[in-house]
Chains A and B, each alone.
Chain A
């Protein structure tokens, strides 16, 4: 399974964009990159996923580099409610639906 590396913590000012990096240099060509977040004491919440192209939805944008070895999750206007642990996950397509969490990044949005 492709391993992901994320910074353990980041800070962001409220109203500014939060850019969360993820390194997945061993990703295979048909593996998706998923982002989830977990607000304290709640279940993880899906944010976005992508394969090769950049993706955007109502929550965030996902920028995947051309070589697919890294990606960035962008929260365009961070709010205090975006304070959470953000997990970048590479999902293998030959592992019987395995979804494995790494250590994630604790994003703290400050007023």
Chain B
């Protein structure tokens, strides 16, 4: 079956631009996670949804970051007024149930802010 997909795979933005990153989880997966991964670092948790409910957004670094999953499937991570420090790979993962389950990762979106 299809895995987790993300789009775009690469995004170049000028500082101050808004960007939207999309994640399509595995069909039927209840939980969806967003991570930010800087070069040479492990994934840093941003936020977590169970169906359409955003249960944890403690990892969002500022109010410029916003995520939604309105129908409990596709999710969008939006970054407003991008800054150079936002440059990273943004990973999306989904799991069948909750946080204690195996997560399946998408290929990531590589964001470069100039």
- Specify whether A and B are partners: no
